[in-house]
Amino acid sequence: MTSIINSKLPEFEVQAFHQGEVKTVSHNDLKGKWSVFFFYPADFSFVCPTELGDMADMYPEFQEMGVEIYSVSTDTHFVHKAWHDTSDTIAKITYPMLADPTGALSRAFGVYIEEEGMAYRGTFLVNPEGEIKIAEINDNGIGRNADELKRKVQAAQFIAAHPDEVCPSKWEPGGETLEPGLELVGKI
């Protein structure tokens, strides 16, 4: 199994439902920006709306950090619109909901379930250079937490700005970081 960490964002072009409209989103739209791809199995399901609603609640905080959120499922943009129109939780979403009915984007990120035609719960952070810096894949019964994702994104952004430092477990902005070196070996 090859790691996706530090690999380049795959080229793609998909339809999205975003703020009441259908738009085209491609890899070119992400250049120079921090982006999160938030794959989930299906619209009109059970765990998915809890996660997408959590992301919707935190979306302004991600935007303040200069991060765009893209939710992705193998449903079409029409299904995204229908879900948005019928669910109070999904109606809160203002980030783009990407449609991947062919599974091409899900396959490119390694989250596609061939037998089911849908994706695992995959979370990926792409830096402004188009490199994947965070990759997390959960089985579909395990929901994710937007607060924890926010902390990880903050750590990735800190490391990008301070390449000689690393963020320890439970690091929060303003917390102490470490400067790797022989003098730390065996002392932590």
| String of DSSP letters for 39-103 | E-S-SS-SHHHHHHHHHHHHHHHHHHTTEEEEEEESS-HHHHHHHHHH-HHHHT--S-EEE-TT-
**Which fold is adopted by the domain 13-144?**
Glutaredoxin (3.40.30)
Which helix or strand (DSSP H or E) is residue 175 part of? Answer: none
Q: pLDDT tens, 90-101?
A: 999 999 999 999
| Residue entry with tokens 């982006």 | 35
Distance of CA 68 to the CA centre of its chain: 9
∠ CA 167-60-176, rounded to 5°: 15
Q: What is this structure's pTM?
A: 0.95
Gap between the Cα atoms of 31 and 67, Å rounded: 12
Query: What pLDDT digit, counting tens, does each position of 93-125 carry?
Result: 999 999 999 999 999 999 999 999 999 999 999
Query: Which amino acid does the sequence have at 11?
Result: E
pLDDT value at residue 76: 98
User: Residue type at 137?
Assistant: I
> Confidence class of residue 47 from pLDDT cuts 50, 70 and 90?
very high
Residue 13's pLDDT is 97
pLDDT of residue 115: 97
8 Å CB contact between 135 and 122: yes
Nearest to 177 by CA among 169, 187, 167: 167
Question: Cα–Cα distances in Å, from 151 out to 45, 139, 145, 147?
Answer: 27, 21, 10, 6
Per-residue pLDDT, 116: 97
- Look at residue 186 and tell me whether its pLDDT is greater than 90: no
For residue 180, give both structure tokens.
């790797």
Residue 64 is encoded by which pair of tokens?
Answer: 């303040």
> CA 49 → CA 31, 43, 46, 53, 91, distances in Å?
29, 8, 6, 6, 10
Query: Residue type at 1?
Result: M
Enumerate the active-site residues.
48
pLDDT tens digits along 64-89: 999 999 999 999 999 999 999 999 99
